[in-house]
A and B are shown apart, each in its own frame.
Chain A
């Protein structure tokens, strides 16, 4: 069987619909079927309704509006034949064995031989799912457990049954990894697999420890959140987010299948407070509120928090536990602290980590699978064994023993060592056989973090490093705070260019493994410089950025930008100057400078304009590209996926999208090598023919209209005026031609005027202080 070209999803609930959308994101046509609702006029109402809902949902399940067209809604009675040519059919119906098996029988009647069928079950063992079904079906069957929401949560747990053919597992694993961008973790057929098994225990342990330790909700969340690398909402905030009513279902299902001596049974409790909250509709953010609630009485918003002892809401207070401050840098100091935060931290971590350690190898072959599952499925910054390494496994085991609690064999086995170590520049993990093994990445995965472990950088300064990623390719990594761009990064770029021009390397990739590629220039520095009126320094920085970016563009070697996460402002502009972009699918790219009262000054206006002028599909005349780019920049549009960035022409023909983040660097490097092999020649300098004053007048008029109907603020008008002057070409005329240097000059001029404006400085200050744009 060649591959997966078409898919079916059965069940259009939250998970089914989300899985269908994500398959569409991968470019796969999907059939989405659900039952026929009783007495409905539209027999497809459930699936069709789910599709419509997804088009509007936030965060968006689809990576672009066009992707929604790949999903065909239908029903399980009339449209089963649509599954006949599907290569993969995912079942995501209600968690009832009889219902699932009935669906399988229907599917088995129409599916083509060798097609793969999988269940998204989170609770039912695979052995029971295939019980009584034909052997051929069992051979093609496995469990693919997605996490919600399927587009954004990276974990996919795959469980093979005893009958499942290995090539089906391999095929799906490869497909999920490369095409869906999932982090695939092979699980055993045990209750809750990996992530929910440990995650459920973790939540229960936290709830119990918080209530018994007399902590408030805020205190518990200030401990069991950021300090431990758990989601920053904290446990109770997380429960509000996922839905408080979900817990009892998963818990009940686990209790029905877990071994009799499983420690979860010791802590699982029916909590009257939670039962009451669910019964009264306080199920979290989707309901009337949860542990936290926003009270809007009397037009004033008050944040309320539930009192864990009385169940009454009271105003939220800020907490400042000494243990949290003490443990800010050292987790051990947190769990050793004598205050109730420290005691809670130890109670939670000692239980959860000991539980996780006791489950290997029962639920997973090794510790890496468990850590990967918790990182990508529960958004832990560190997996349980990484947390144990931070605490010191020997210390941890010692304290367990001192408290008369059992020490799991794996923890005892690691002794004075750690679960991970770096040996000979390679990351190794402690295996269940008592030996260390290299962490092996799948083919096509190149991680900068592995490169960094292997040896020293080629160069390093305060804000950027250069790494040799092999085959003559150099990688520039931003290392500044939030990967913000500054003078040191420009210097490092120049250094990279010099190294390549001197023949030490052949091509450059710009990439990093931060949450965001770069959120733009360092605004704090810029504001400080503006506040002390260092205009020459600001002008020099703008000019230097333009010079370096331009040099990058025309350098005699290929440059590939490889973003993931946000690439905003100056971070977007550097990509626009690369020869090619290889973007992670979850890239959010845009020129957002107007939000802080300036315009893109490092060639962003010019590059976007060049792209839209070069667009073969554009309408004729000089005005349409100017108007389009004006609209994008003046409204600070951000593409919410790489796919949307392609639609915005930030990505051009030939630019690539990588679904799996771990494969991004390898893909970018391959792209750079391909450009070299094709006999790389730098691009020709574009010449602009722009409409000049008449276009500016038209744009000004449009802005005046937005101002009149309240859609633009006074300072929006000021900024838009400067932007219109750049994009229309300044004092040019449509019969003249402009070199790109003139556009750089216009950007510089506008930037320097705007950065002196008090309203711009107020915007920057507000952004720095609150993270939100000021609408002045």
Chain B
């Protein structure tokens, strides 16, 4: 069975060496949140993840959620683990102190998220959705609603959900029909059905707070007529919590994340309150969705990391055959399969992906911190631009590649990987939802080329392209870095050309942009990884041979992984480049009836 060791060293590397999260202590409110404090907390959480939450992963999958008489029962041990997290304050890491939170910067939540999801994605869902609901309420709701709900969400006493999807309204939320009728006292009565609601109903908290997209009477058609309402499972009446007309109709039977309850939620005259302005719900929901999309990108990273660890463990232990160039471990009956080039290729591909994804996640996260907390408006703007640009890339690229990585990791384990008992296939099944939920990866690609790219005449792009161009210019003469900088420069130039081409084509035909979008997003993802890998290699080379034995090994492995990435993985970008430049004709001219 795979075990899990939280990658604390690498987290510290990306946040405090590659990026300067320590500088966040200069921001108001974060004065005390230095790296030592944050990383000490992460070490504590790592223990809970490794010792309590990860051991619930396989049994939770086996047992699944149960639905009976409108009640959802989570797998054995989940509630206790949830209480442990709440009591330890782990549900309120980034919540505001005014509402009982610990007021840590956003990246603490992101690091915690990776560890929780890697340990047990189904379990982590209950907590991360609550944290998303907290953010949406904190950003958009009235002070009265904040005072009422936020302390309960921060403490973990109550959980949260986001209720967007309806049977006829998935990717196209403009089709939402849920009705919200004003009662005349400022509240609304909600009627309708939502589906695919993660953690819509469960037994871990006394109350569940739903954020619901609905239409007010006379609302304009489409997304301009959607409002966001807050609707609790239990509402307060005469000082007591009473049922509020929100019921779970059934739960889905799914391929993966079986311990996460995916519910059909019926609202039958449930009382709710408006969050933000009428008809402006999509705007408010975007706060939630952007945070959630980043989190899903982390799901891809986390499951890949967990699977990678399992594969490495297997490859070390499994003895089969001898190395092609002669026995490496002659004292053993056979060499561990780790010696075989193809197995090494697979393990290094997993490693280059997870470490690259961790760095890209960190860059995006710190941009969000700038956007929300930096006192300089220019830095705020730059942070917001970069975060909004990278969010679809993190979500789609890290889940596409994350799924691929869990699959590669399973492959390393051969027939054992395919068995349910061994635990590797669960990662593949659990990961399969990640390219789908929170906006399919196709939608993410359209978001990138249709919305993020043209916004403000390409200003968001600047926040990515300029640092890369500056890095390339600065390192152009660096001989030691040449092996990394040259392929980066080549890939970057292709990304520039593809971007220019796409901008030009989109003016002529939207189909052109649509057909190129996924290849463009992947090209973008590879170049973003390459940029971060080049920077990580530069840093590791500078620190080469320094520090204790563990550090020496760490930096050495970093440089070698970077080398593998540039030589054996980055070439994949050119396939996407060629594919997108080929244009949309072969895709669009195929007759509909011939499919």
Query: A531 is contacted by which of B378, B458, B468 (Cβ under 8 Å)?
Result: B458
In the complex, the 9 A-B pairs of residues with the closest C-beta atoms, listed nearest first: A533-B469, A531-B458, A531-B462, A533-B465, A528-B458, A532-B465, A527-B457, A531-B461, A532-B499
Bitwise interface map of A from 528 to 560 toward B, beta carbon under 8 Å scored 1, else 0:
111111110100000000000000000000000
Would A527 and B458 be within 8 Å (CB), given that A534-B496, A534-B500 are in contact?
yes
29 contacts between A and B (CB under 8 A): A524-B457, A527-B458, A528-B458, A528-B461, A528-B503, A529-B500, A530-B462, A531-B457, A531-B458, A531-B459, A531-B462, A531-B466, A532-B461, A532-B462, A532-B496, A532-B499, A533-B465, A533-B466, A533-B468, A533-B469, A534-B496, A537-B500, A758-B378, A761-B462, A764-B457, A765-B456, A765-B459, A768-B457, A769-B457
Max count, chain A CB within 10 A of own CB: residue among B457, B459, B462: B457
Residue of B nearest to A768 (CB): B457
A765-B457 in contact (CB<8A):
yes
How distant is B471 from chain A, measured CB to nearest CB, in Å?
11
Residue of B nearest to A532 (CB): B465
B500-A532 in contact (CB<8A):
yes
Residue of A nearest to B468 (CB): A533
A531-B465 in contact (CB<8A):
yes
Chain A stretch 486-545: residues in CB contact (< 8 A) with chain B: 524, 527-535, 537
Residue of A nearest to B492 (CB): A533
CA distance A550 to B469 in the complex (A): 31
CA distance A768 to B469 in the complex (A): 24
CA distance A244 to B465 in the complex (A): 55
Query: B469 is contacted by which of A528, A535, A765 (Cβ under 8 Å)?
Result: A535
Residues of chain B lying within 8 A (CB to CB) of residue A524: 457
Residue of A nearest to B454 (CB): A528
Residue of B nearest to A527 (CB): B457
CA distance A203 to B463 in the complex (A): 52
Residues of chain A lying within 8 A (CB to CB) of residue B499: 532
CA distance A560 to B442 in the complex (A): 53
Further 18 A-B residue pairs, CB within 8 A, beyond A761-B459, A764-B457, A765-B459: A528-B457, A528-B458, A528-B461, A529-B500, A530-B462, A531-B457, A531-B461, A531-B466, A532-B461, A532-B465, A532-B500, A533-B468, A535-B469, A537-B500, A761-B462, A765-B457, A768-B457, A769-B456
A532-B456 in contact (CB<8A):
no
Bitwise interface map of A from 754 to 776 toward B, beta carbon under 8 Å scored 1, else 0:
00001001001100110000000
Residues of chain A lying within 8 A (CB to CB) of residue B496: 532-534
How distant is A776 from chain B, measured CB to nearest CB, in Å?
10
CA distance A532 to B458 in the complex (A): 8
Chain A residues with CB under 8 Å of chain B are: 524, 527-535, 537, 758, 761, 764-765, 768-769
CA distance A768 to B456 in the complex (A): 9
How distant is B198 from chain A, measured CB to nearest CB, in Å?
37
Chain B stretch 547-566: residues in CB contact (< 8 A) with chain A: none
Residues of chain A lying within 8 A (CB to CB) of residue B500: 528-529, 532, 534, 537
How distant is B546 from chain A, measured CB to nearest CB, in Å?
33
CA distance A340 to B294 in the complex (A): 47
CA distance A354 to B315 in the complex (A): 89
CA distance A527 to B465 in the complex (A): 13
CA distance A535 to B500 in the complex (A): 13
Chain B stretch 448-495: residues in CB contact (< 8 A) with chain A: 456-459, 461-462, 465-466, 468-469
CA distance A531 to B458 in the complex (A): 6
CA distance A530 to B465 in the complex (A): 9
Residues of chain B lying within 8 A (CB to CB) of residue A768: 457
Residue of B nearest to A529 (CB): B500
Residues of chain B lying within 8 A (CB to CB) of residue A764: 457
Chain A binding surface SS class: helix
Residue of A nearest to B467 (CB): A533
Residues of chain B lying within 8 A (CB to CB) of residue A529: 500
How distant is B537 from chain A, measured CB to nearest CB, in Å?
21
Residues of chain B lying within 8 A (CB to CB) of residue A535: 469
How distant is A580 from chain B, measured CB to nearest CB, in Å?
36
Residues of chain A lying within 8 A (CB to CB) of residue B456: 765, 769
Residues of chain B lying within 8 A (CB to CB) of residue A769: 456-457
CA distance A534 to B466 in the complex (A): 10
How distant is A199 from chain B, measured CB to nearest CB, in Å?
38
Max count, chain B CB within 10 A of own CB: residue among A533, A535, A761: A533
CA distance A758 to B459 in the complex (A): 10
Residues of chain B lying within 8 A (CB to CB) of residue A537: 500
CA distance A662 to B285 in the complex (A): 57
CA distance A527 to B496 in the complex (A): 14
Bitwise interface map of B from 411 to 449 toward A, beta carbon under 8 Å scored 1, else 0:
000000000000000000000000000000000000000
CA distance A528 to B503 in the complex (A): 9
Bitwise interface map of B from 498 to 509 toward A, beta carbon under 8 Å scored 1, else 0:
011001000000
Residue of B nearest to A533 (CB): B469
Residue of B nearest to A535 (CB): B469
How distant is B279 from chain A, measured CB to nearest CB, in Å?
14
Residues of chain B lying within 8 A (CB to CB) of residue A532: 458, 461-462, 465, 496, 499-500
CA distance A533 to B496 in the complex (A): 8
Residue of B nearest to A756 (CB): B466
Residues of chain B lying within 8 A (CB to CB) of residue A534: 496, 500
CA distance A537 to B461 in the complex (A): 17
Max count, chain B CB within 10 A of own CB: residue among A524, A527, A530, A532: A532
Residues of chain B lying within 8 A (CB to CB) of residue A533: 462, 465-466, 468-469, 496
Residue of B nearest to A526 (CB): B457
How distant is A29 from chain B, measured CB to nearest CB, in Å?
51
How distant is B292 from chain A, measured CB to nearest CB, in Å?
28
How distant is B529 from chain A, measured CB to nearest CB, in Å?
18
CA distance A399 to B321 in the complex (A): 91
CA distance A761 to B458 in the complex (A): 11
CA distance A44 to B468 in the complex (A): 71
Residues of chain A lying within 8 A (CB to CB) of residue B378: 758
Residues of chain A lying within 8 A (CB to CB) of residue B503: 528
Residue of B nearest to A320 (CB): B220
How distant is A171 from chain B, measured CB to nearest CB, in Å?
53
CA distance A530 to B503 in the complex (A): 13
How distant is B228 from chain A, measured CB to nearest CB, in Å?
23
CA distance A529 to B462 in the complex (A): 10
CA distance A529 to B465 in the complex (A): 10
Residue of A nearest to B382 (CB): A758
How distant is A319 from chain B, measured CB to nearest CB, in Å?
14
Residues of chain A lying within 8 A (CB to CB) of residue B468: 533
How distant is B390 from chain A, measured CB to nearest CB, in Å?
15
Residues of chain B lying within 8 A (CB to CB) of residue A758: 378
CA distance A202 to B524 in the complex (A): 57
How distant is A321 from chain B, measured CB to nearest CB, in Å?
14
How distant is A522 from chain B, measured CB to nearest CB, in Å?
11
Residues of chain B lying within 8 A (CB to CB) of residue A761: 459, 462
How distant is A682 from chain B, measured CB to nearest CB, in Å?
36
Residues of chain B lying within 8 A (CB to CB) of residue A528: 457-458, 461, 500, 503
CA distance A524 to B465 in the complex (A): 17
CA distance A37 to B466 in the complex (A): 69
Residues of chain A lying within 8 A (CB to CB) of residue B469: 533, 535
Residue of A nearest to B472 (CB): A533
Residues of chain B lying within 8 A (CB to CB) of residue A531: 457-459, 461-462, 465-466
CA distance A472 to B571 in the complex (A): 56
How distant is A487 from chain B, measured CB to nearest CB, in Å?
11
CA distance A527 to B500 in the complex (A): 12
How distant is A530 from chain B, measured CB to nearest CB, in Å?
8
Residues of chain A lying within 8 A (CB to CB) of residue B462: 530-533, 761
CA distance A299 to B274 in the complex (A): 32
